[in-house]
């Protein structure tokens, strides 16, 4: 029996959270040459989440647990709002390796975990520790487990909580994920395990994204019938045409109710490079806490414009910009770092 058949569903990110899960950064390979510079933004993110919900953080051992506690003290983070789990990891991106929670208020077990497989974005990096984390979380809480038996990453999809899921062909149809499955087979699995009725396929992701095109860098639902999507104004930039192609597809979109969603165009930051590498800098990689929207900023002229635009999109939430220019060297930002656990 699948989650959908049993009445479970995967809530939209703006629905109330019980907690947010993070994984502690400790591997130099995640941020080569930048490790000592990313903790300021990381701890500011932890603090912001902790103001409205529990933060649950995976750390590899007791020594790093103590390091984290010391850092939290220096940032005046309330330790009563943070729970630390000794779960060894390979990388920091909890959106992709963290537990995927589904809920069903009428079930005897109201919360369960979908245990998607994780292979580090097509076998690019080590992943055995990351891949084990969802099962450890399920064991700790005694939660039921659904195992679809395919590779899936949280950053590759976005849902509106009303039956529609967004993803990209560049990622989910990449042969380094599930080469044995057809597009239709992947759609069927998404529908059964995320409990949706409609799959929207976009094309390519942005330059520098070594996830092969995660949708959380380009296009996000901000309500059941509103989508924010990144656009590049510079026609000479390599992101211009792929983002225009995605915008064109979105303009054709009709939701399950037959209506066209409202579209909000979000500018891209000026291209960010480090050590000659184009990085996947995008304001679309924001994260919704219970009370705020945490938005990555990149020390460029479009920061303020994007923060103001997102404030209009979320009039009942405070918009918090946190510098992500160093964190993005690890090829992700705040949404990639986090995975919500819904409240029930």
* Percent of the chain whose pLDDT exceeds 90: 100
Q: Where are the domains of the chain?
A: 3-338
Band of residue 87 on the pLDDT scale cut at 50, 70, 90 = very high
CB-based burial label for 233 (10 Å; 0-12, 13-18, 19+): exposed
Cα separation, 29 vs 94, in Å, equals 16
Find out whether 165 and 216 touch, Cβ atoms under 8 Å. Answer: no
What is the reported pTM? Answer: 0.98
The DSSP letter of residue 81 is G
What's the pLDDT at 88?
A: 98
Strand partners of residue 341:
19
Alpha helices in the chain (DSSP H): 3-6, 35-50, 62-74, 94-97, 120-123, 128-141, 169-172, 183-194, 240-252, 302-313, 334-337
Q: From the DSSP assignment, how many helices (H) and strands (E) are in the chain?
A: 11, 18
What pLDDT does 165 receive? 98
The model's confidence at residue 95, banded by pLDDT at 50, 70 and 90, is very high
Average pLDDT over residues 91-104: 98
Sign of torsion, CA 328 329 332 335? negative
Please write the tens of the pLDDT for every residue from 241-291: 999 999 999 999 999 999 999 999 999 999 999 999 999 999 999 999 999
For residue range 10-59, what is the model confidence (pLDDT) as tens digits?
Answer: 999 999 999 999 999 999 999 999 999 999 999 999 999 999 999 999 99
Q: Using CB atoms within 10 A of its CB, is residue 142 exposed (0-12), middle (13-18) or buried (19+)?
A: exposed
Tell me the β-bridge partners of 322: 296
Task: Give the residue-averaged pLDDT of 153-172.
Answer: 98
User: Given this model, what pLDDT does residue 58 score?
Assistant: 98
The pLDDT of 111-140, averaged and rounded, is 98
Q: What is residue 125's predicted lDDT score, i.e. its pLDDT?
A: 97
DSSP 132-171: HHHHHHHHHHT--EE---SB--GGG-EE-SSSEEEEEHHH
Residues taking part in catalysis? 336
**Placement of tokens 């480090």 in the chain:** 274
- Per-residue pLDDT tens over the stretch 207-218: 999 999 999 999
Percent of the chain predicted with pLDDT > 70: 100
- CATH fold of the domain at 3-338: 3.75.10
């Amino acid at each position: 029996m699948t989650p959908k058949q049993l009445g479970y569903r995967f809530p939209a990110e703006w629905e109330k959270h019980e907690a947010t899960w993070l994984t502690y950064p400790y591997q130099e390979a995640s941020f080569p040459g930048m490790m000592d510079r990313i903790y300021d933004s990381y701890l500011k993110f932890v603090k912001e989440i902790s103001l409205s919900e529990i933060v649950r953080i995976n750390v590899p051992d007791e020594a790093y647990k103590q390091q984290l506690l010391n850092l939290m003290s220096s940032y005046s983070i309330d330790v009563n709002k943070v729970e630390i789990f000794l779960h060894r990891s390979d990388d920091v991106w909890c959106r992709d390796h963290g537990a995927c929670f589904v809920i069903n208020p009428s079930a005897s077990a109201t919360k369960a975990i979908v245990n998607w497989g994780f292979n580090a974005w097509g076998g690019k990096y080590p992943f055995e520790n990351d891949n084990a984390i969802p099962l450890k979380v399920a064991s700790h809480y005694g939660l039921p487990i659904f195992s679809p038996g395919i590779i899936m990453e949280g950053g590759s999809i976005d849902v509106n909580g009303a039956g529609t899921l967004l993803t990209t062909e560049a990622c989910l149809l990449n042969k380094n994920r599930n080469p044995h499955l057809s597009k239709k087979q992947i759609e069927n699995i998404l529908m059964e395990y995320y409990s949706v009725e409609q799959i929207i396929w976009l094309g390519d992701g942005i330059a520098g994204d070594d996830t092969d095109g995660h949708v959380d860098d380009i296009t996000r639902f901000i309500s059941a019938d509103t989508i924010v999507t990144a656009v590049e104004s510079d026609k000479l930039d390599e992101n211009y045409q792929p983002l225009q192609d995605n915008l064109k597809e979105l303009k054709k979109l009709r939701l399950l109710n037959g209506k066209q969603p409202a579209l909000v165009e979000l500018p891209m930051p000026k291209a960010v490079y480090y050590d000659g590498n184009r990085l996947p800098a995008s304001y679309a990689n924001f994260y919704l806490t219970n009370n705020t929207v945490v938005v990555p900023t990149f020390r460029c002229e479009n920061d303020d414009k994007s923060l103001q635009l997102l404030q209009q999109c979320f009039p009942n939430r405070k918009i918090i910009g946190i510098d992500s220019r160093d964190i993005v060297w690890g090829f992700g930002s705040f949404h990639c770092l986090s995975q919500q656990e819904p409240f029930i």
